Amino acid sequence: MKVEAKILLILGLFFGIVAAVYWRWSVENAGGVMLVAAMLLGFLPGSYYWWWSRRMRTRPEDDPTATPAQSAGVVGAFPGTSIWPFTMGMGAFFVVLALVFGIWLLVPGIALVTWALLGGIAEGRRGGRV
Amino acid sequence: MTDVLEHPVAVGDHGHHEDHGPRGVLKWLTTTDHKVIGLSYTVTAVIMLVIGGLFAEIIRAQLASPNGTLVSLAQYNELFTMHGSVMIYLFAGPFAFGALANIVVPIQIGAPDMAFPRLNALSYWLYLTGSITMLSGFFTAGGAANFGWVGYAPLSNSINTPGAGADLWIGGLLLTGFSAIFTGVNLVATIFYLRAPGMTMFRMPIFTWNLLVTALLILLAFPVLTAGLVMLYADRHFGTHIFSVAGGGVPVLWQHIFWFWGHPEVYILALPFFGMVTEIIAVFSRKPVFGYKGMVFATLTIAALSLGVWAHHMFTTGVVLLPFFSIMSLLIAVPTGIKIFNWIGTMWRGEIWFSTAMLMAIGFLVTFLIGGLTGIYLASPPLDFFTHDTYFVVAHFHSVVMALVLAGMAGLYYWGPKITGYLLNETIGKIQFWFLFVGTQVFTFPIYLLGLRGMPRRMAVYPHDPQWKFLNDVATVGAILIGVSTILFVVNIIVSWKKYPAGDNPWDGHTLEWFTTSPPPHHNFYRLPPIRSERPTWDYNHPEHTALGHGEHAKDEAR
């Protein structure tokens, strides 16, 4: 976990330096704001990973001498099939079409997205149809 | 080195389930398997390549004579806008981080699937609906978007470009943008959390490394574009004046926002293809990657620098910091140079096997070098002032993106057998390579010269100048050769359909995807080899070549 954290922290530090130089030197603000946001995107998850990496034992994937047997057991629950991503995609499609062809398309759009959200959450609670 | 897990790797708490899932269309609609989603992405992206390519052929046919009458001026604007949009937004990116990444990354790191399989499926549906949304502009009364693929304000506002086509372009980009962001989240989570035991970060294949960095870049860049599009839509329909001078807005802000996404996007497109050729060159040179850590460092450096170079697209606006952006842009040549050096170093003294995939990868190297070197010229403001908005710029980025097409073809020839279980015909593949490679050079070289002779881009007609006419004709011939190569690819798929069984490891590959079956089972692996280097499959198949850790060299062993 330490390598992952370091990558994000170093990227954040680099963007921080670039943001400082750019803000000081340039005459417009948009770029500086976007660079500061980039810095935060390095620092926020990076510091979280770093905090965690100091509190957890070495994972098998970080252990250079780990054997395949250490992966035995449950990795996680992976749903085999699910209709909800498609339903939500169609809902998002209608929401975007509402931007172009008329506000009424928001009705099927939001209905589909809500249905997919509820269905997906319920499916997740059950562990998915696998 | 031989303790292989002989029983299935347990994934999920529901045991085996590949046999009672839905079939046919319902399987396609409900799948959460990264391989099926990856294949859907691949097919959709290749269809987009063909559609974008058809637009390109129409554009080149129009330019074959100075006063071409094949399409009207308005149609020409739609064509070059949608050619760029389809190729960049709907083909190159999704093909790189949606198609091949989806199929290969989880297998390369020994994972059973992507970290969030349902989110992965949603990414695909957003990509598909976004593509349909953008292309449906052609069926509206005013036609498709026609302000160039960059959508510059104030040309893209509701006064200069009214109509549904532009709104469908914005809507399509919103959908595909979210699709990309979700894929980025998925890739980062997969690579951080689902690696097999022993697969440390510095044992990951370079392709996976590049996809990790690509995913981070997606997360940094795409939200900015999405925000910009929301502002553009608000300007068009809600009466805001963010990009219009009349209401106190700043049109050039759109360019800042667009290119803050747009330049990292160049590397979001390129890095996955860099990863592909790194794998391919190493496997077909029968050597490990030369300078593995240097490659990782170069990838990270390119990504970091790419966020600080956006305004080199805006040198001629007169309101950007020329020295800052010039220096940052020129600096990118250093890590890119490291990569080119390492690719050549990987081939150096290797037993090179000139398969179609390897030829395509070498073709990429040459073409990308030309595109990269002309990019160095453009990073210099005095030269950029001279060539801005001429065909020189068009030639530069077509060298770059055609190199990526070569790399993508290399990837299809290399990984296609893994996902389908069947090889493609090598003879047709090699003929396709020569058409594609020669066509690319015949297409780009004359338009470099056209640019230097002052021909502006995005013109449907041009003055009667014998030199311009000749160079345009040569470029059109190049475009036809590229078109023939695409037809040959389709022919190859038809001719080779289920004809040449690939076996599990047709290329004597290095990485974990060549350890499992072709195509891989539902959750990818029945067994895993011990992972002691970045080449676990090679180590397992060639125990006589003991893997050395990083920093250890054969010479040291001899001493």
Answer whether B178 sits within 8 Å of A92, measured CB to CB. yes
In chain B, pLDDT over 90 holds for what percent of residues? 86
Q: Are residues A47 and A93 in the same domain?
A: no
Q: Are residues A55 and A93 in the same domain?
A: no
Nearest-by-Cβ selection for B32 from A18, A81, A88? A81
Mean pLDDT of chain B: 91
Mutation site, A61, A62, A63, A94, interface B, largest B CB count within 10 A: A61
| A46-67: average pLDDT | 89
In chain B, pLDDT over 70 holds for what percent of residues? 94
Q: Which residue of A has its CA nearest to B115?
A: A78
Q: Are residues A7 and A57 in the same domain?
A: yes
Given a cut of 80, whether residue B21 has pLDDT beyond it is no
More confident residue, B3 or A73: A73
Mean pLDDT of chain A: 89
Residue B13: predicted pLDDT: 39
| A40-49: average pLDDT | 95
Residue B56 vs residues A1, B80, B87: alpha-carbon distances, Å: 46, 8, 10
Q: Is B422 helix (H, G, I), strand (E, B) or coil?
A: strand
B328: chain A residues, CB-CB within 8 Å: 18
Q: Give a yes or no: residue A67 inside a domain.
A: no
Nearest-by-Cβ selection for B168 from A8, A69, A100? A100
Q: Give a yes or no: residue A79 inside a domain.
A: no
Q: Give a yes or no: residue A74 inside a domain.
A: no
Q: What's the rounded Cα separation, in Å, for the pair B156 and B47?
A: 27
Q: How many CB pairs under 8 A join A and B?
A: 208
Q: Give a yes or no: residue A75 inside a domain.
A: no
Answer whether A69 sits within 8 Å of B5, measured CB to CB. yes
Given a cut of 60, whether residue B352 has pLDDT beyond it is yes
Residue type, B173: L
**Whole domain around residue A17: which residue ranges?**
2-62
Residue B544: predicted pLDDT: 82
Query: HEC string of B502-539?
Result: CCCCCCCCCCHHHCCCCCCCCCCCCCCCCCCCCCHHHH
Q: What's the rounded Cα separation, in Å, for the pair B275 and B206?
A: 6
Q: What's the rounded Cα separation, in Å, for the pair A45 and B77?
A: 43
Q: What's the rounded Cα separation, in Å, for the pair B290 and B139?
A: 51
Residue A58: predicted pLDDT: 85
Write out residues 381-440 of B within 8 Å (CB-CB) of A.
Answer: none
B187 contacts chain A (CB < 8 A): no
B445 contacts chain A (CB < 8 A): no
Residue B231: predicted pLDDT: 96
Mutation site, B25, B44, B122, interface A, largest A CB count within 10 A: B122
Structure tokens at B212: 């990790």
Q: Give a yes or no: residue A76 inside a domain.
A: no
Q: What's the rounded Cα separation, in Å, for the pair B282 and B339?
A: 13
In chain A, pLDDT over 90 holds for what percent of residues? 65
| B307-314: average pLDDT | 94
For A63-108, write each residue's pLDDT tens digit: 888 887 776 666 666 777 899 999 999 999 999 999 999 999 999 9
Write out residues 291-330 of B within 8 Å (CB-CB) of A.
Answer: 300, 303-304, 307-308, 310-311, 319-321, 324, 328
Burial class, B295, CB count within 10 angstroms (exposed 0-12 / middle 13-18 / buried 19+):
buried
Write out residues 116-135 of B within 8 Å (CB-CB) of A.
Answer: 117-122, 124-126, 128-130, 132-133
| B446-473: average pLDDT | 94
Residue B546 banded pLDDT, cuts 50, 70, 90: low
B41: chain A residues, CB-CB within 8 Å: none
Q: Give a yes or no: residue A58 inside a domain.
A: yes
Smallest Cα–Cα separation from B176: which of B126, B137, B220?
Answer: B126
Mutation site, B118, B134, B332, interface A, largest A CB count within 10 A: B118
Question: What domains lie within chain B, and their CATH numbers?
Answer: 27-543 (1.20.210.10)
Q: Are residues A43 and A94 in the same domain?
A: no
Answer whether B175 sits within 8 Å of A67, measured CB to CB. no
Q: Which residue of B has its CA nearest to A73?
A: B10
Q: How many domains does chain A have?
A: 2
More confident residue, B18 or B537: B537
B192: chain A residues, CB-CB within 8 Å: 1, 4, 49
Nearest-by-Cβ selection for A130 from B14, B200, B253? B14
B122: chain A residues, CB-CB within 8 Å: 85, 88-89
Long-range contacts of range B362-366, CB-CB < 8 Å, 24 or more positions apart?
B362/B281, B363/B403, B363/B406, B363/B433, B363/B436, B363/B437, B363/B440, B364/B273, B364/B277, B364/B403, B364/B404, B364/B406, B364/B407, B364/B410, B365/B277, B365/B340, B365/B403, B366/B437
For B182-231, write each residue's pLDDT tens digit: 999 999 999 999 999 999 999 999 999 999 999 999 999 999 999 999 99
Q: Are residues A14 and A58 in the same domain?
A: yes
Q: Give a yes or no: residue A70 inside a domain.
A: no
Residue B24 banded pLDDT, cuts 50, 70, 90: confident
Residue B145 banded pLDDT, cuts 50, 70, 90: very high
Residue B439 banded pLDDT, cuts 50, 70, 90: very high
B168: chain A residues, CB-CB within 8 Å: 100
Given a cut of 60, whether residue A5 has pLDDT beyond it is yes
Q: Are residues A44 and A94 in the same domain?
A: no
ipTM of the complex as predicted: 0.94
B303: chain A residues, CB-CB within 8 Å: 11
